[in-house]
Structure 1
Amino acid sequence: MEELMKSMPSPSPPGLPGLGLPGVGLQAAGLPGGAHRGWLFKWTNYLKGYQRRWFVLSNGLLSYYRTQAEMAHTCRGTIPMATAHIQVGDTCHLVVTSGGRSYHLKATSDPDCQRWVASLQEAKDQATQMMEHSDDSGDEGQLGADGRGLAAGVLKTLAVKLDDLSTCNELIGKHGAALQRSLSELEDPRGSGDGTDRLKAINERAALFRITSNAAINACRDFLDVAALHNRRWQRALQYEREQRHHLEETIEQLAKQHNTLERAWRESPGSHAAGVKRVETLEGEASDESDEFFDAVEDSPPFITVTTSNHTQHRRSASNNSMTSGGQPHDWTHHHSDALQQRRPRRSRIPDKPNYSLNLWSVMKNCIGKELSKIPMPVNFNEPLSMLQRLTEDLEYSELLDRAACCDSTLEQMCLVAAFSVSSYSTTLHRTAKPFNPLLGETYELDRLDEYGYRSISEQVSHHPPAAAHHVTSQRGWTLWQDITIDSKFRGKYISVMPLGLIHLQFEASGHHYVWSKVTSTVHNVIVGKLWIDQTGDMEVVNQTTKDSCHLKFSPYSYFCRDTPRKVSGVVQDRDGTAHYVLSGSWDHKMESAKILDSSPGGSEGRQKTVYQTLPTKLLWKKYPLPDNAENMHFFSSLALTLNEAEVGVAPTDSRRRPDQRLMEAGLWDQANVQKQRLEETQRLDRKRREEESSRELEDGRDVERYRPRWFERRTNEETGERSYCPQIF
């Protein structure tokens, strides 16, 4: 019993504010003007020697920065003065040491050195006094090894007191029950034994009950005292953590703003980015004493160099400009675009503006690193009001390129136009960082543009996991396009990678030429901090399976420090023998051009083998349409994308236009859209579970398991290639 009555041992003394906490210099940077601060020279390494740094002494902390401007966002190091040792040398030198870290410093003059030494000693004395006389102030900063040890000791003490209370509870129950039995026996007149013995037993049991009750009361009091004492410390520690988190959020926000400012400045003056690169390299070379800093490497240059020939006759120039014609007529992009606009029947040109909701993608996806994106439940806040089936159909934005290609007599010129079409499908993605809706199994989408553009498109979600869609397009202007595509997407922490798997097929009726290619990887950057932006990278091989002509396209990664055109795409069109005939150049967000090759020769330097092509002047193949007015408030939709979710008469009940969550989101009712989205996804999960149970029963009964069968597509085998693909049952 004596063990239960012992008092709680007193906790270890509190620590110094900010001791061992990274980033405390951020707090020092915002101190009032009375803090001691100024320039000192700090020893960095044997190569660079002493470097000029800005030091701030305040609140018992000595912090330093590379420049005064860095006080707003980046502290390079901090030493707590309470545990610091100050050693003064000769010729303005001094050394400040604490916890294994030493700052070798040098002042500009003896008076300046004496002022710093006096201030440092005064700060050390004040911090030591605070550490000795403060009972619980400042424990919010003790989050290092000492703080963890103190917290562990307190928790252990509280656990012991809880054990004491548990023991007291058991004893109180036991002795209380015995006392109750003795009282019952005393009241029973039929009871046996002397009354004196009964009273003696009652007194003994009452004494035991009183002792255990007092022990429980004392244990409760000790527990409350310890909890109350350390509750104040932990409240202050929690408040300190909140303040530090606030400082960190402000710092990250400032870095993001600086990032956006740098990007905007670079875009406004792209011609000066090379000088900017040199300036960044110079600054980094002067101030890299604490850590190595790395930047995106400049992308390697392409394996060929194009030299445009300018001294040809006007006749030859005219012939080259009219080389890709239909029936001998030149294909001017502007003229073709205006004709297409005149043929379009009236369709909607705007949708309701997107609500100005605060979005935090990281808060939803921070626990989903490495997972497939289609398996992450996400609110509609991170979607755009289109499904993946509609995004596939949006690849037909520049279908006139295929109309022109169908009329080409030259297979190589036809290849140029097909390659430009394959690049044009990415032009709508530049600002489209939102995620399209994952189609439900069996969901369809039909787009009838026979009157305007001569084609009709139908697509269907044929698999849920993995997500897969079948897409088929027929055109009255001489071509057919089809694809079976599966999306493999991964969240990597800082970015999201979307890898489309599957081949795109294109066949022209007149010539029978059959083209095949696959898509490149799309990457969404700055998931954690900064402005989201998207990039397309990788190699694309467009092959004419009939003639074996090919075009190899390279989508170069975007880099602030690259001298090439941003979002550059380059390629060469070759015949089946490997002879190059055309050079393609441009960017996936703006335009593509072709240049006919006249001659080629080997070149390169420093061991890099390159081919130098001499070409005719470039010819425009494709140019991006301007976005509609107010596009930034309409999810950056193109003119075609604005019409994809427009209500149509006679579409199937499974059409994407009929999805209630997508329709509500487009109307700006995001809360209602989230409710509908969760309902549809739960229904789909129940349907999948039911199908799996039915399949299990069929297996147990020895019957063949019937797999899910799409409604409008069926799997067929190509007799020539042996490839299995989805074909529409009716079209």
Structure 2
Amino acid sequence: MEGFLMKWTNYVYGWKRRYFSVKNGLISYSKNKDSKKKGEMRLLSSQIVKHPADPKRFSIEGDTISYYLKASSPKEASQWIQALKQAQRDAHIHLSLPPSLSNLSPRSPILPDNSAFTHSLALKLSEIWGIHAQMQEAVDMIPPLVIQSIPGLDSVLSLSNAIKKVASEALAMIDEEEHKPRLSINSTVIDEEKFLPRQSLDMNYSEPIFELEKPVGLQKVIYEEECKEIEEIEFEDAKSHYSDDSEKNNLKIIPHRKSLPVLRNPNQRMNIWKVVKDSIGKEFYKITVPVYFNEPLSFIQRVTEDMTYSEIIERACEEKDPQLRLALVACFAISQFSMCINRTMKPFNPLLGETFELETKGFRCLSEQVSHHPPIAAMHTEHPKYIYWGNTEVKTRFKGTYIQANLVGAFHLILKEFNDHFIFHKPNTNIYNFIMGKIYIDLSGTIEMSNFSTGDRATVVYKKRGMFEKVNYEIEGGVYDNYGVEKYSLEGKWNEEVNIKENSTGKIIKGFEMAPYPDNHEMSYYFSDFALQLNILPEHFNNLPPTDVRKRPDQRALENGNLKLAASEKWRLEEKQRDARKRREDRGIEYKPRWFVYQDDEWVYKGGYWEAKEIGDFSDLPDIF
């Protein structure tokens, strides 16, 4: 079947008339019948979806690209849908034929499509690669003297490495072959990385703004290589991503966002293989990651997300029972990871000297990147009733089948009325299924929390996710007085809610409950309502310093869906940071953070930021953007 259909392009150009043809298991389109092809898609693994409200509209949604189409009438749309589904059936039949029957002439109405087979093969090879990684981890735990004492073990390890090498080479060959047909058919046929303006949700129908090629060679990931994988099409920002709610800050009205300005398809499949295959055992921050694996927030903004449920601290400030105060503070610590449950994209690595300020919910918070190697972010929060501060060094390693993140650093909370001083650390974070399967985050380990003013302590155990998902995200804990008597117990799920039980009476107190996510939050990187407000445009704030991350151009470009600009700016900023470090080293100058100082094995706020902001004097800050 062939003929003209209307094809959605973007919000600048809207619907365009294009000539479509279904042949040999493919659908292709061009500007006119006899003009050059502009795109092509295999139908074997695609889905044909009717529009839920408009009978003239339908979509063809493949693994990598999608077409959003409109016919002149409902009848014509139905004819196209039938023809497309018949072409799918023909392709499936042909794929199941033996080789002797599948070797057809070029005029055959069916073209073999091996994409499903290739994908399955890649998954199996990835599984072999992952098994090797697990075995290597187990071997690393064996003392060298034991290995030497077992005859033949070194040969087994050598053969294991050979298997890994073969699997890696096979995966690389598959990845290379997958790109050849697309480039030979038409250099403009690219994979999909969909960013959708907010209006598309109002139509209850996803329409693409632009499509990207998925990553190819990433051995060193220089900017020019990354830009080859991005095709940029202009789009307009959605104006409806602000809600009617707003907040006054320094005499300015800060709008309240209900989504990001440009929305991203959460089901986009990305080729992580090339990024991680040579990275087992490395610190994750040393692995160069293309910008399309980032979320549009910096890690110093993620640190500020600790305060998402700051109202729990305010509840603790009102409690006369010291053990219940500790129980609530424990719930506050647990709540800090609740918004991360689906946040599998990597935050931007902060540049040295990068800062972020936030004034909301009665507190004001400042964070700064105080060290680059190793990466350390320090933060300080002030409220009339409490002070909260700490620093985090993220020690992250890629273990072959998962990413392990150890958050090193203590966090302090002082409740002013009671002079309570709580200290706690954070649990280990693991990100699983990086190579294959659905990526998920899990927490593990035991955290101890102490009130140095009263001698009370609390313990929270993060249970490791169980087999067959019978134990998911569960915690249990207890609160003990200075004599070691358990006064309260904690139970629940760190991503949903935690209850406090008073052991003497059996009374249940709600300690923490996850707030509802904004509508369609999965299209905004799974951001919570709190996270959506963190990168609002800098012009809505008074006297922001030049180092504030809201002014960071690569992160802003990603938020706006401009991948090509984000990649170029990321490369430029990293080069600028390397040049600045080299100049300091050549002159023998030691870098010193502006707002924090290292004392007693931790970074503490030394003051002066809010005073400088009051008078608008940030003249002594470095030029990092």
Give the shorter-chain TM-score range. 0.5 to 0.7
Q: Deviations over 1:205-228 (max 9, x none)?
A: xxxxxxxxxxxxxxxxxxxxxxxx
SS of equivalent to 1:561: helix
* Structure 1 position 370 matched with structure 2 position 281: yes
Among residues 492, 500, 505, which one is paired with 1:586 in the alignment?
492
**Structure-2 residue corresponding to 1:710:** 593
Q: CA shift at 1:647, angstroms?
A: 1.9
**Structure-2 residue corresponding to 1:676:** 569
Q: Relative to structure 1, is the Cα distance of residues 243 and 572 closer, same or farther in structure 2, using a 3 angstrom cutoff?
A: closer
SS of equivalent to 1:636: coil
Among residues 506, 520, 529, which one is paired with 2:427 in the alignment?
520
Residue 529 of structure 1 aligns to which amino acid in structure 2? M
**Structure-2 residue corresponding to 1:654:** 547
Residue 298 of structure 2 aligns to which amino acid in structure 1? S
What is the alpha-carbon distance in structure 2 between the residues aligned to residue 359 and residue 627 of structure 1? Answer: 25
Does the Cα contact within 8 Å between 1:716 and 1:727 map onto a contact in 2? no
CA RMSD, Structure 1 to Structure 2 (Å): 2.8
Q: CA shift at 1:569, angstroms?
A: 0.7
* Structure 1 position 549 matched with structure 2 position 452: no
Determine what percentage of the aligned residue pairs are the same residue.
Answer: 37
Residue 640 of structure 1 aligns to which amino acid in structure 2? F
SS of equivalent to 1:708: coil
**Structure-2 residue corresponding to 1:726:** 604
What is the alpha-carbon distance in structure 2 between the residues aligned to residue 588 and residue 632 of structure 1? Answer: 19
* Structure 1 position 496 matched with structure 2 position 374: no
What is the alpha-carbon distance in structure 2 between the residues aligned to residue 428 and residue 368 of structure 1? Answer: 28
**Structure 2 matches for 1:244-255, cutoff 5 A?**
none
What is the alpha-carbon distance in structure 2 between the residues aligned to residue 435 and residue 687 of structure 1? Answer: 25
* Structure 1 position 462 matched with structure 2 position 352: no
* Structure 1 position 597 matched with structure 2 position 503: yes
What is the alpha-carbon distance in structure 2 between the residues aligned to residue 557 and residue 410 of structure 1? Answer: 32
Residue 299 of structure 2 aligns to which amino acid in structure 1? M
Q: Relative to structure 1, is the Cα distance of residues 31 and 575 closer, same or farther in structure 2, using a 3 angstrom cutoff?
A: same
Residue 471 of structure 1 aligns to which amino acid in structure 2? M
**Structure-1 residue corresponding to 2:17:** none
**Structure-2 residue corresponding to 1:693:** 586
**Structure-2 residue corresponding to 1:117:** none
Among residues 356, 359, 363, which one is paired with 1:448 in the alignment?
359
Q: Deviations over 1:534-574 (max 9, x none)?
A: 1111111111111111111001111243644x200100111
* Unaligned stretches of 5+ residues in structure 2: 1-94, 102-119, 125-169, 179-244, 249-253, 611-625
Does the Cα contact within 8 Å between 1:472 and 1:728 map onto a contact in 2? no
* Structure 1 position 533 matched with structure 2 position 440: yes
What is the alpha-carbon distance in structure 2 between the residues aligned to residue 458 and residue 656 of structure 1? Answer: 12
Q: Deviations over 1:69-127 (max 9, x none)?
A: x99x99xxxxxxxxxxxxxxxxxxxxxxxxxxxxxxxxxxxxxxxxxxxxxxxxxxxxx
Q: CA shift at 1:380, angstroms?
A: 1.2
Does the Cα contact within 8 Å between 2:247 and 2:256 map onto a contact in 1? no
Does the Cα contact within 8 Å between 1:594 and 1:621 map onto a contact in 2? yes
Q: Deviations over 1:177-229 (max 9, x none)?
A: xxxxxxxxxxxxxxxxxxxxxxxxxxxxxxxxxxxxxxxxxxxxxxxxxxxxx
Q: CA shift at 1:381, angstroms?
A: 0.8
What is the alpha-carbon distance in structure 1 between the residues aligned to residue 507 and residue 412 of structure 2? Answer: 31
What is the alpha-carbon distance in structure 2 between the residues aligned to residue 688 and residue 503 of structure 1? Answer: 28
Q: CA shift at 1:352, angstroms?
A: 2.6
**Structure-1 residue corresponding to 2:311:** 400
Among residues 291, 307, 311, which one is paired with 1:380 in the alignment?
291
Residue 727 of structure 1 aligns to which amino acid in structure 2? Y
Residue 428 of structure 2 aligns to which amino acid in structure 1? T
What is the alpha-carbon distance in structure 1 between the residues aligned to residue 391 and residue 176 of structure 2? Answer: 51
What is the alpha-carbon distance in structure 2 between the residues aligned to residue 684 and residue 445 of structure 1? Answer: 18
**Structure-1 residue corresponding to 2:519:** 629
What is the alpha-carbon distance in structure 2 between the residues aligned to residue 245 and residue 644 of structure 1? Answer: 42
Q: Deviations over 1:659-715 (max 9, x none)?
A: 0000000000011101100110011111112212222xxxxxxxxxx5211112223
**Structure-2 residue corresponding to 1:439:** 350
SS of equivalent to 2:326: helix
Q: CA shift at 1:351, angstroms?
A: 1.0
What is the alpha-carbon distance in structure 1 between the residues aligned to residue 379 and residue 536 of structure 2? Answer: 20
Q: Deviations over 1:247-297 (max 9, x none)?
A: xxxxxxxxxxxxxxxxxxxxxxxxxxxxxxxxxxxxxxxxxxxxxxxxxxx
**Structure-2 residue corresponding to 1:306:** none
Does the Cα contact within 8 Å between 1:501 and 1:518 map onto a contact in 2? yes
Q: Which has the higher helix share?
A: 1
Does the Cα contact within 8 Å between 1:568 and 1:587 map onto a contact in 2? yes
CA radius of gyration, larger in:
1
Residue 466 of structure 1 aligns to which amino acid in structure 2? P
Residue 500 of structure 2 aligns to which amino acid in structure 1? S
Does the Cα contact within 8 Å between 2:457 and 2:482 map onto a contact in 1? yes
Q: CA shift at 1:446, angstroms?
A: 0.4
Q: CA shift at 1:33, angstroms?
A: 12
Residue 294 of structure 2 aligns to which amino acid in structure 1? N
